[in-house]
Amino acid sequence: MRILLAFLFMLLGAGVAAAQTGPAAPLAPGKGDFAFTGWAGPPLRIFYQLPDAVTEKTPILFVFHGVQRDAANYRDEWARYARDRGFIVIAPEYGAADFPGAEEYSSGGFLAPDGSVRPRAQWSFAAIEPLFDEVKARTGTRVPRYILYGHSGGAQFVQRYMLMMPEARVLRAIAANAGWYTMPDLDTEFPYGLKGSPVDRAGLAAALGRPLWILLGARDTNPNSAALRQTAEALRQGRHRLARGDSFYRKAVDAAASLGLKLAWQRRYVPDAGHDNAAMSRAAVDLVVPRAQ
């Protein structure tokens, strides 16, 4: 009897181990959240919205929050567009405890406290590619590329991601109302330029050839706006977010010309929009999935 019980416990243990290492469960319909642990960094809480039906061609949009770290709110502001136009929203939450400040979140976290460069697998950017694969496995879509959207601090994440992750499977990216930028300039020190970053001349050339939309609220012009960086380097980019976005685009135009490249980046203004993610999302949705004609 003891031998039989031991054998049964062994089978039970093997079954539990198999369940733990097996494929992740499908995402529940509608909206929800889950813990993502499939990368080298800390666990991330992921908020999602699924459309009513997911097919092999259903697009995936990653949405990035700002300094409030309120990924659920960002997911909710995109939810009706996901349902109406049939795409998946994935909003990772980079909590302040594990990703304090812009350095660890929107600047990529590639520098360790001692100034050394961390392994790429530990950058905040490194979560997105394996998360994309997990979302595909858990929903059934098989799209080869994904779309990025970020507002404010999330826009900083997006613009630096496009500069520093040349191998990423990005279809297109939208950076809305960033407060300041890492300029496409190899002679200016990081984080305001690329000197001292992992991006070299070839990497910059590759980034300038990738589709990035710089989305700017035409009324995002308050020079004293909350959380607007006021360092000397940021002020050289402009007094407010609109001016800084213009500076970023002009710098990209100059950089592409100096490298003999055709710039793939585009700039678009959103009339009557200030520093408001809801307004910017309404303008951005046609760049994500155009309305059916």
Confidence (pLDDT) at 22: 52
The arithmetic mean of pLDDT across residues 244-251, rounded, is: 98
Q: Measuring CA to CA, which residue among 14, 94, 82 is closest to residue 51?
A: 82
- Look at residue 3 and tell me whether its pLDDT is greater than 60: no
Tell me how far apart the alpha carbons of residues 170 and 210 are, in angstroms, rounded to a whole number. Answer: 8
- Look at residue 11 and tell me whether its pLDDT is greater than 60: no
Cβ of 202: how many Cβ atoms within 10 Å?
A: 10
- Band of residue 97 on the pLDDT scale cut at 50, 70, 90: very high
Distance of CA 128 to the CA centre of its chain: 7
- Band of residue 210 on the pLDDT scale cut at 50, 70, 90: very high
- Look at residue 253 and tell me whether its pLDDT is greater than 60: yes
Torsion of CA 265, 80, 272, 212, to 10 degrees: -10
- Look at residue 7 and tell me whether its pLDDT is greater than 70: no
How many alpha carbons lie under 13 Å from residue 89 in its C-beta half-sphere? 33
Confidence (pLDDT) at 42: 97
| 164 neighbors 110 (Cβ within 8 angstroms) | yes
Q: Of 6-10, 84-88, 211-215, 260-264, which gets the smallest average pLDDT?
A: 6-10
Cβ of 113: how many Cβ atoms within 10 Å?
A: 7
Confidence (pLDDT) at 114: 86
Q: Measuring CA to CA, which residue among 129, 79, 85, 64 is closest to residue 288?
A: 85
Of the candidate CATH numbers 1.10.150.80, 3.30.565.10, 3.40.50.1820, 3.30.9.10, the domain formed by 26-222+229-288 belongs to: 3.40.50.1820
Confidence (pLDDT) at 66: 94
**Residue 194 CB contacts under 8 Å (≥ 6 apart), including other chains:** 163, 182, 183, 184, 185, 186, 188, 204
The pTM score is: 0.91
Confidence (pLDDT) at 36: 98
The arithmetic mean of pLDDT across residues 6-35, rounded, is: 62
- Look at residue 124 and tell me whether its pLDDT is greater than 80: yes
Residues 161-193: tens digit of each pLDDT: 999 999 999 999 999 999 999 999 999 999 999
Tell me how far apart the alpha carbons of residues 237 and 244 are, in angstroms, rounded to a whole number. Answer: 5
Give the domain ranges of the chain: 26-222+229-288
Q: What is the overall mean pLDDT for the chain?
A: 92
Q: Measuring CA to CA, which residue among 24, 91, 85, 82 is closest to residue 50?
A: 82
- Band of residue 113 on the pLDDT scale cut at 50, 70, 90: confident
User: 215 pairs with which residues across the strands?
Assistant: 176, 268
- Look at residue 21 and tell me whether its pLDDT is greater than 50: no
Residues 28-58: tens digit of each pLDDT: 999 999 999 999 999 999 999 999 999 999 9
> 59 or 11, which is more confident?
59
